[in-house]
Structure 1
Amino acid sequence: MPNERLRAAIAAGGWTHEALGRKVGVDPKSVERWVNKDRVPRQAAALRAAELLGEDVHALWPALRQPRRARAISPELVALYPRRADLPIAAYIELFAQAREQIDVLVYAGVFLHEGYPRLNELLEERAAAGCAVRIAVGDADSSAVQQRGQEEQFGHGIESRSRLALMHYRPLITVPGVQVRTHATTLYNSVYRADDQMLVNGHVLGVNAYGAPVWHLRRVEDGGLFDTYAASFDAVWSTTQTVEE
């Protein structure tokens, strides 16, 4: 079946298969297969082509949204996403919405959640009202750890500003029963988003913004496994946190 969305984008931009292939760095026959046989290009080629065409890469190739199924390395590893940007916001929201006992968020900023889902605070309030314990830990913008991360990611003061913005987003929850909002000054090796026995872990990579680093989806199935390792890491950070004043 042809990829009609791609065909239309190529035509609208006045591209030929040869010209697009040359700019992307692939053979024109590959572009022809993308169009006529709905072949899915490699991630790098797809991103470059979408940029040239002025289109959303997932609109052109929806299959790129799908996580790679994890090999049978661990029964707790549900899926692996090469980049956080490959994971739709809906995945986080669905995870939190299903929580019945516990929601934990450990980040330096993570403002993409509020930016992508403005009702996040309302959702967390609803879960807390239903008896779910909610713990939010964001980075202390004045800490050396956050400032160091900005330098490592070549993001400068951007991460500090985003940490302050994250705290501003979460501040209305400070007085909500069942919700705790705190700041931390630890070196953050991973961002953690937990809902009961499921967890999304966003690895941190030196010199790479968090949205370009991988995410693994874990489900707790055994004691002492991967899930418990990251849960214990959250608790270790939580023990060092500072309460945010009203």
Structure 2
Amino acid sequence: FRELHGDRCFGDDRAIITGFGQIGRERVLVVGQDKGKNTRQKIACNFGCPNPEGYRKAMAKMKLAEKFGIPIVTLIDTPGAYPGVGAEERGQALAIATNLHQMSLLRVPVICIVIGEGGSGGALGIAVGDRLAMLEFAYYSVISPEGCAAILWRDGSQAPKAAEALRLTSKDLHKLGLVDTVIAEPLGGAHRSYHDTVYNVEKYIVKTLRELKRTKVENLLENRYQKLRSIGVSQTENLRRKTQAGKDRIKAALEAVPSKSKRVPAKL
């Protein structure tokens, strides 16, 4: 793994780590969020809350990977984007929005994996891709249960009730169709055996990359677009859209075939 630093605009955000490496036999760009382990690291990483320069750094390196045709893997673990005044002044919302737009257009396979906390826009800023997976005990939500309870009931003790309403677990999100795959964790959680967890994640990445690399770029982009458009839509509406898309493709194929009147008659 060779780490790359800086966003070429403001600075180097330690909450997001980027670099080229190898997973199995596959060369990839890895973009991951880092919370740090001890107090000094946590402060340096801003407790895993990225600033705008972190998202700009991630996008700059993704563009570099696209240039060389290298697939991208993002590892998501953040309570959310940093909400400080400085971050807002440097364009926090714009940086995240730009990533959402640009990631949807990348002409290389993009795999996103929630490995811990998937907090709001902070997670979404590097979570647009062809496949979205979650570790078994990770969560992915627009807001933390504590924050939701504080807003709705003015009572932090209502967090369990809020968590149930948010449907933020991997199992719930998989049922809703927002998450493609749930990656199994060792008994008791990922922290009980990092080796087994890494093995499961690596196995998923290698298998998925092989599948995505067989897909033509045009189909990759179309499938990614349809995946994003289906978020928040009922299963019935999804089926209607897929049916209509199929009809449109058949119609386009038929129109591409020359009519009988335009065919050159065969010589007898």
**Same fold judged by TM-score > 0.5?**
no
Higher RCO by CA contacts (8 Å cutoff, separation 6 or greater): 1
Could you tell me the TM-score, scaled by structure 1's length? 0.28
TM-score by length of 2: 0.26
